[in-house]
């Protein structure tokens, strides 16, 4: 345990590490290396949230290329644009693949049982509706009304004061998975840097993943890859707590540290005042 904390602390401080030599190549197929897959999923999530938060660590154009998006918009911004001028908004957004973020106001399903999430608009009568495939139901189960949410969807139109977005992603796409694995391998070997803060997060997650028990939900769901909806987040934050990693968290940038501590507060109420 002490050895792991030393490795994590060193990883966070140095943003480079020689510990990736045993990682399998991700060229042409997804790797079977759990640690690599987990860190890759977390990297995908970090890039999404970095774009949503204004790309403070990586270049916005690079984030959009990785996510295969045309840009980022908040639920309030796109709702306001459509409310002001539907024709101008269609010209700007319709048919485009956008990263969308906002606060969830409802979680429901359509007549076929497909998950639907609703985000608040700038006015009480406006909203953004996100439509997912039925195979996303287990991941939507981790979403919560009243909490921030971000994903990638295609803008399909405007109806009844609601912006409609479909083909929403519940997990990183195949291109993103492959690209993320290659990035993680390069970061672990010290061959590439995205940004010091994200490099540190990737390296810490890679080493942390080694400590998940065999029955962890993080290991069971092979399609999750660390996940945008973080199906295994209870195990993730629980592991951080059990290892006494709060000292390591203090070395993270403020935005990453806040997310770690938020998760700890949600799943470990006794730690909410720490």
- Mean pLDDT over residues 35-61, rounded? 87
pLDDT digits (tens, 9 = 90+) for 167-204: 998 777 777 888 889 999 999 888 988 888 788 888 88
The predicted pLDDT at position 230 comes to: 55
Write down the pTM of the prediction.
0.77
Instruction: Please choose, from the candidates 97, 45, 90, the residue with its C-alpha nearest in 3D space to the C-alpha of residue 73.
Output: 97
The predicted pLDDT at position 219 comes to: 81
The predicted pLDDT at position 231 comes to: 62
Of 221 and 253, which is predicted with more confidence?
253
- Mean pLDDT over residues 54-59, rounded? 85
| Pair (70, 147) in one structural domain | yes
User: Are the C-beta atoms of residues 231 and 213 closer than 8 Å to each other?
Assistant: no
Q: What is the CATH number of the domain that holds 71?
A: 2.40.50.140
Residues 6+ apart with CB under 8 A from 101: 52, 72, 74, 75, 148, 149, 150
Count up the domains in the chain and report the number: 2
Instruction: Please choose, from the candidates 1, 37, 35, the residue with its C-alpha nearest in 3D space to the C-alpha of residue 19.
Output: 35
Q: Is residue 150 part of a domain?
A: yes
The predicted pLDDT at position 228 comes to: 45
| Pair (18, 142) in one structural domain | no
Mean predicted lDDT score pLDDT of the chain: 79
Of 1 and 51, which is predicted with more confidence?
51
| Pair (220, 141) in one structural domain | no
Answer with the one of 116, 133, 166 that is the final residue of a domain.
166
| Pair (197, 255) in one structural domain | yes
Q: Is residue 273 part of a domain?
A: no
Report the SS3 class of residue 212.
Answer: coil
pLDDT digits (tens, 9 = 90+) for 194-212: 888 788 888 888 888 888 8
pLDDT over threshold 60, residue 118: yes
Of the ranges 4-8, 100-104, 219-223, 241-245, the best mean pLDDT one? 100-104
Lowest mean pLDDT among 28-42, 151-165, 213-227: 213-227
User: Are the C-beta atoms of residues 217 and 25 closer than 8 Å to each other?
Assistant: no
Of 268 and 12, which is predicted with more confidence?
268
Say what percent of the chain tops pLDDT 70.
77
Answer with the one of 166, 196, 214 that is the final residue of a domain.
166
Which residue range(s) make up the domain with 213?
2-58+173-268
| Pair (76, 148) in one structural domain | yes
Q: Is residue 72 part of a domain?
A: yes
- Mean pLDDT over residues 92-113, rounded? 94
pLDDT over threshold 70, residue 263: no
Instruction: Please choose, from the candidates 181, 114, 210, 105, the residue with its C-alpha nearest in 3D space to the C-alpha of residue 149.
Output: 105
The predicted pLDDT at position 246 comes to: 67
User: Are the C-beta atoms of residues 232 and 205 closer than 8 Å to each other?
Assistant: no
| Pair (34, 121) in one structural domain | no
Instruction: Please choose, from the candidates 184, 187, 170, 139, the residue with its C-alpha nearest in 3D space to the C-alpha of residue 33.
Output: 184
Q: Is residue 105 part of a domain?
A: yes
Of 159 and 27, which is predicted with more confidence?
159
């Amino acid at each position: 345990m002490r050895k792991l904390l030393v490795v994590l602390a060193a990883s966070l401080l140095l943003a480079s590490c020689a510990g990736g030599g045993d990682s399998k190549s991700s060229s042409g197929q997804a790797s079977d290396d759990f640690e690599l897959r987990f860190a890759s999923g977390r990297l995908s999530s970090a890039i999404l949230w970095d774009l949503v938060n204004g790309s403070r660590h990586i270049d916005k154009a690079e984030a959009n290329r990785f996510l295969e998006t045309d840009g980022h918009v908040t639920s309030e911004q796109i709702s306001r644009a459509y409310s002001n001028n539907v024709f101008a908004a269609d010209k700007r957004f319709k048919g485009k693949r956008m990263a969308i973020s906002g606060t969830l106001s409802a979680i429901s399903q359509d007549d076929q049982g497909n998950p639907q999430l609703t985000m608040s608009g700038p006015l009480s009568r406006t909203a953004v509706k996100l439509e997912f495939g039925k195979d996303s139901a287990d991941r939507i189960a981790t979403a919560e009304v009243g909490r921030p949410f971000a994903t990638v969807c295609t803008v399909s139109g405007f109806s009844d004061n609601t912006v409609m977005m479909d083909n929403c992603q519940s997990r990183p796409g195949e291109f993103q998975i492959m690209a993320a694995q290659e990035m993680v391998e390069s970061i672990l070997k010290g061959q590439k840097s995205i940004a010091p803060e994200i490099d540190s997060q990737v390296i810490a997650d890679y080493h942390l993943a080694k400590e998940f028990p065999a029955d962890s939900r993080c290991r069971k769901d092979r399609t999750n890859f660390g996940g945008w909806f973080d199906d295994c987040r209870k195990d993730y934050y629980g592991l951080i707590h059990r290892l006494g990693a709060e000292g390591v968290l203090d070395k993270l940038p403020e935005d990453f540290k806040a997310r770690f501590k938020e998760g700890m507060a949600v799943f470990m109420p006794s730690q909410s005042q720490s």
